[in-house]
Amino acid sequence: MSPEPALLRRPLGKTGLAVTPLCVGGGPLGSMPQNFGYEVPAERGVDTVRQVFASPINFLDTSASYSNGDSERRIGAALAETGGVPAGFVLATKVDRDTTSGDFSGDQVRRSAEDSLRRLGLDQVPLLYLHDPEHISFEAAMAPAGPVEALFRLRDEGIAQHVGVAGGPVGLLARFLREAPFEALITHNRWTLVDRSADDLIDEAVEQGVGVVNGAPFGGGILAKGTKSVASYAYRAADAEIVSRVREMEHACQRYSVPLAAAALQFSLRDPRITSTIVGISRPERVAETLRLARHPIPEQLWAELGPLAAPPKYWQW
């Protein structure tokens, strides 16, 4: 992959937003040791955001639920230094259920958005997602005065310029895209070197003109650090078959002197259906490192070897 594709901005569906193929994920910024296995001090999180703003990347994704709002607080601290969102930069966040009570009502969606804006120090955001709707039934999500209706009302009021849906189960996400005019989609852990669950979902989104953002190309770490360091996929213990497949991928990459992380990242970046790929970053130096992974040369012979090593569908997340 040449340097240029990692920097050129692409249209995000029909939103009118233009984003880089790399998007920085704000999950680790606020410190989520239960997911990532390490703490992130506040100042390091803020320093990382500063480095993102100084880089060619123009897309940053976070959520109200990440570390109880600390991800947004740290982004807000960096925004306060710059006087707001830099020109041409796209900041996305997500409305979430109340993680204590489980409330995911329309009123909770509004509270979540208002709390996010307060932490970020903003009046509105370019992109706002409904986050993890799998925690309630589809019927409850789509009910009158429910969370989906509340999200679109926030857009109509100008609190969000555009709205999307972000979650896990591919069948559920496809149903949301069919029933509501979402403009963007985040799928995570389901379009990687080892798991191809989201293939049909991505096709359907593109057919509808929905911008596709692919999260967790490293599967939570195993496709970046390898099987000697990580034995989990999608933040839980990986099936032995997944571990075996990733180990074979490691060996194939070693034969071509390609970092496994570069192959995992570029698997998503090279897919023309995917507008942007989210990579969680928690250190300032990781910004340049991620750009290097995106640019690392990968021969077509390696792609031909990696393709058949994807796990069988029964091991996918779906």
Q: What is the pLDDT along the chain (318 residues), one digit of tens a residue?
A: 333 444 799 999 999 999 999 999 999 887 655 655 667 789 999 999 999 999 999 999 999 999 889 999 999 999 999 999 999 999 999 999 999 999 999 999 999 999 999 999 999 999 999 999 999 999 999 999 999 999 999 999 999 999 999 999 999 999 999 999 999 999 999 999 999 999 999 999 999 999 999 999 999 999 999 999 999 999 999 999 999 999 999 999 999 999 999 999 999 999 999 999 999 999 999 999 999 999 999 999 999 999 999 999 999 999
N-terminal to C-terminal alpha carbon distance within the chain = 29
Give the C-alpha distances (Å, rounded to integers) separating 10 from 43, 77, 233, 275: 31, 28, 29, 6
Which tokens hold the place of 81? 């230094």
Architecture of domain 4-315: Alpha-Beta Barrel (3.20)
Which tokens hold the place of 117? 């804006």
Closest of 64, 48, 73, 94 to residue 213, by C-alpha: 94
What lies within 8 Å, CB to CB, of 83 at 6+ separation is none
Per-residue pLDDT at 35:
56
Per-residue pLDDT at 252:
98
Closest of 47, 15, 42 to residue 30, by C-alpha: 42
Q: What gap in Å lies between CA 315 and CA 318, rounded to an integer?
A: 9
Per-residue pLDDT at 302:
98
Residue 145 sits at φ, ψ, to 5 deg, of: 65, 15
Longest dimension (CA), the chain: 56
Closest of 89, 172, 106 to residue 135, by C-alpha: 172
Sign of CA pseudo-dihedral 264, 299, 211, 290: positive
Place of tokens 């989210």: 278
Q: What gap in Å lies between CA 147 and CA 142, rounded to an integer?
A: 7
DSSP secondary structure, 226-249, as one string = -TTT--EETTEEPPHHHHHHHHHH
Give the C-alpha distances (Å, rounded to integers) separating 315 from 239, 243, 306: 8, 11, 17
Per-residue pLDDT at 33:
58
8 A C-beta contact, residue 110 and residue 154: yes
